[in-house]
Amino acid sequence: EPEVTQTPSHQVTQMGQEVILRCVPISNHLYFYWYRQILGQKVEFLVSFYNNEISEKSEIFDDQFSVERPDGSNFTLKIRSTKLEDSAMYFCASNRGPATNEKLFFGSGTQLSVL
């Protein structure tokens, strides 16, 4: 069964450093997403991406965050200057399109720890 893959599974970084989280969405999917989950909290929407541009973003997705699809397969989330409160599990997800009942498939996540 096709799946969303994410690398690395764990990332430890120092406060103020830049990190890039990587994702390979399912190959025939067109919409890509990043969500995050702080330990013990809910899964929070960050951003959605379609046709090489951001289609929606939440209040969390401020200027320190950016997304990119650098080639035909990868989808990345960059955090420019990490803060302690950025420590969370970051999930990439994808689906086939904007149909409102379209199912969303998640990768296994990258656990980011900011020290």
Partner 1 sequence: RKEVEQDPGPFNVPEGATVAFNCTYSNSASQSFFWYRQDCRKEPKLLMSVYSSGNEDGRFTAQLNRASQYISLLIRDSKLSDSATYLCAVNPKQAGTALIFGKGTTLSVSS
Q: Which residues bind partner 1 (CB under 8 A)?
A: 31, 33, 35, 41-45, 48, 50, 55-56, 58, 89, 91, 95, 97-98, 100-109, 111
User: What is the nearest approach in angstroms of partner 1 to the Cβ of residue 50?
Assistant: 8
Separate counts of helices (H) and strands (E) for the chain: 0, 11
Tell me how far CA of residue 52 lies from CA of 19, 41, 72, 75, in angstroms: 21, 30, 10, 10
**Residue number with CB closer to partner 1 (14 or 101):** 101
User: What is the nearest approach in angstroms of partner 1 to the Cβ of residue 60?
Assistant: 12
**Cβ proximity of 77 and 19 under 8 Å:** no
User: What is the nearest approach in angstroms of partner 1 to the Cβ of residue 46?
Assistant: 9
